[in-house]
Structure 1
Amino acid sequence: MAYEIPVTQARAELADLINRVVYGDERVVVTRHGKPLVALVSAADLRRLEELRDEQEAAQPPVISSVSSIGGAAPAGGERQRFGIAAEHRGPEVR
């Protein structure tokens, strides 16, 4: 469980909070009006969080390339007017 502290108190105790995180292996959640605002975590914890995020991103298929591979499918009859589309991307011209 993380130690919670209001932002006004955290300003006054920043050096102590940093020591708690670095040397006490604690996590500190700074709150505003009782709601979590930010968290102070060790550099090692941050590195692990970033590694986890990178692993998750690598495991997901790229959505943009899947959508862009659909190609030149033109919108059906009144679809452009129905959705208020004023222009469309046609891609590079082949000569």
Structure 2
Amino acid sequence: MAYEIPVTQARAELADLINRVVYGGERVVVTRHGKPLVALVSAADLERLDALDQPEEEQVISSVSRVHEAAPASGERRRFGIAAEHRGHDRS
């Protein structure tokens, strides 16, 4: 549920509203004449909304790109030893 506030009051309380969104996890809807005008949401919420707007193919490509960028965990290096770290890409 979003917290609604008139635009005139939101102007005076902007810093507090930002804190409510960032630290309290709230969503704030700013209204004019009782009708929703804009919403203040966290950056994480905005990313989720943007992801919904992307075509499904772009979402998969984006996910694969993020997985590819991840570095191997140090636990894997210990588990597989030096051979795994020094094995070349050429398996001929």
Q: Point out where structure 1 has 5 or more consecutive residues left out of the alignment.
A: 59-95
Identical pairs, percent: 84
Kindly report structure 1 stretches of 4+ aligned residues shifted beyond 4 Å: none
Aligned positions of 1:12-51 closer than 5 A: 12-51=12-51
Change (3 A) 1:39 1:56: farther
Change (3 A) 1:17 1:57: farther
**Larger-Rg structure:** 1
Deviations 1:23-67 (A, max 9, x none): 000000000000000000000000000001103696xxxxxxxxx
Root mean square deviation, CA, Å: 1.9
* Count of residue pairs brought into register by the alignment: 59
When the two structures are superposed, what TM-score results if normalisation uses the length of structure 1? 0.58
Structure-1 separation of matches of 2:57 and 2:19: 32
Q: Point out where structure 2 has 5 or more consecutive residues left out of the alignment.
A: 59-92
**Match of residue 64 from structure 2:** none
Structure richer in helix, relative to its length: 2
Structure-2 separation of matches of 1:57 and 1:2: 31
SS in 2 for 1:26: coil
Aligned positions of 1:74-93 closer than 5 A: none
1:30 alignment partner AA: V
